[in-house]
Amino acid sequence: MLGNKTTGEIEIVSRENGAMARISGRIDIDSSPALRTQLLTALQAPRCNVLTLDVSAVTNIDSSGVATLIEALRIARSHNADLTLIGLQGQLLGLFQSTGILSLFNGSTRADSESGSKAV
């Protein structure tokens, strides 16, 4: 895990064909480097075909946090892996929609039946 609730926290759980990363707190200039390192490690693991990022507990994100997520998407694609965002809601969903970033992550949302949040 990285940081604390105010600076950001990540928990990565391995799955059969990839991993689930639960991110909480702030994704900002202070927490982005550690987040990047952990996401790259997960993407480089053997048989990581899908990395799912649960951002439902993210309280704030700055431009460095957005850049980190976009970089993770680029790296996932270069490894022929899928990067999926789930839990986009509220201000975070609005930010991703209004800036066009959402279109980078497949461009559409669907309801996540387990949490009532959005998956991309």
Over residues 21-54, the pLDDT tens digits come to 999 999 999 999 999 999 999 998 888 899 999 9
Residue 15 has pLDDT above 90, yes or no: no
Q: What is the DSSP-derived secondary structure letter of residue 76?
A: H
List of domains in the chain: 9-119 (3.30.750.24)
pTM of full prediction above 0.85: no
Q: Helix/strand/coil (H, E, C) string of 14-66?
A: EECCEEEEEEEEEECCCCHHHHHHHHHHHHCCCCCCEEEEEEEEEEEECHHHH
pLDDT of 7 = 59
